[in-house]
Amino acid sequence: MRRRWKWLLGALAVVLAIAYVIAFLIDEPLRRMTERQMNARMKGYTARIGRLNFHPIGFAVDLHDLVFVQDAHPDPPVLRVPQLTASVQWGALVHRRVVADFQVWAPAIYVDHTHLARELEDPTPVKEHGWQEALQAIYPLKLNELRIRNGSVTYVDTGQIRPLTLRRIEVVVNDVRNVRSAPDVYPSPVRIEATIFDEGRLQIEGQADFLRVPYAGVKGHIALERVALDYFGPIAARYGFTLTAGTFGGKGNVEYAPEVKIVDLEEVRVDGLEADYAYHKRTVEPVKQAAKATAQARSWTMGLFRRGRTRRSNTFQRHVKPHLRNDLLHAART
């Protein structure tokens, strides 16, 4: 009996060794094939995979140094992913579903003004660039759970004092491959946390429907805390304002889907505001244009209210509790 066990264990060890040798040999061909399939599904962007490792035990795939570049403006890349792991979601087998979970470590998104300009020039709509299809080409099973660890987003605009940065982004999305739902149902739980600049905080807790067409829908509660206002200085300068200090915060409920776009604000808060306003002729026109656009939007929204279409309108709800604490506010008219 003991000798039989030795033979079984030896045979198992040989099988595992052969499996890992085969996995090692197919890593590079599998990397090239995956990269080719991803690029075949994308328009206007190109993916590069630095290294791929296939793990026969667990049927998992690790992608290392994954990079996405915009073809019209390839340097710098718009996305870098040091590691992405796709594997079978074993917990879903209990519910007789064979699906995958994806874990993404330290993804870094970088967008500058030129990226946005090239995107606006591209006739292909953003939602038709094939990002979801490219992600699905990484693994044969359908994505059901997505976890993002320590992600970051950087946006650099022309004339900005400092870039807009979101750091320490944590995202957990479950039950992505649910059946198609009714218009008001969002079956997939979503949780997002991030740091804005140095001290600002972003929290989103809600649900999503990733199978909604032509794009996904999301509904949840959003909270912002201590977001520095000096980043928006160049934008405010166009309207005659100079922002030197202050923080912004707020909370409310958001619903964004193809058939409904609603923001229900509970609170808007500005603390420690330091700002100047100087009247100049060159700042009058942008203010007039903004006022005209606001009036048009209000008129259009009120028309929808009168027609009883508030549930399916692009509107901001009216429940807002503003709080302002101005340590120093200067207004100068010159």
For 306-321, the pLDDT digits (tens) are 443 344 334 444 444 5
For 24-50, the pLDDT digits (tens) are 558 889 999 999 999 999 999 999 999
Q: Residue 6 — pLDDT band, cuts 50, 70, 90?
A: low
For 147-201, the pLDDT digits (tens) are 999 999 999 887 666 788 999 999 998 887 665 556 677 888 899 999 998 889 9
Whether the CB-CB separation of 261 and 304 falls below 8 Å is answered with: no
Whether the CB-CB separation of 5 and 18 falls below 8 Å is answered with: no
Q: Residue 286 — pLDDT band, cuts 50, 70, 90?
A: low
pLDDT at 219: 92
pLDDT at 61: 94
Mean pLDDT computed over every residue of the chain: 79
For 109-130, the pLDDT digits (tens) are 999 989 988 988 888 887 778 8
Distance separating alpha carbons of residues 155 and 245, to the nearest angstrom: 20
Reading the block at residue 47, the tokens are: 């993916």
Domain locations along the chain? 2-329
Distance separating alpha carbons of residues 113 and 129, to the nearest angstrom: 19
Q: Is 97 exposed, middle or buried (0-12, 13-18, 19+ CB in 10 A)?
A: middle
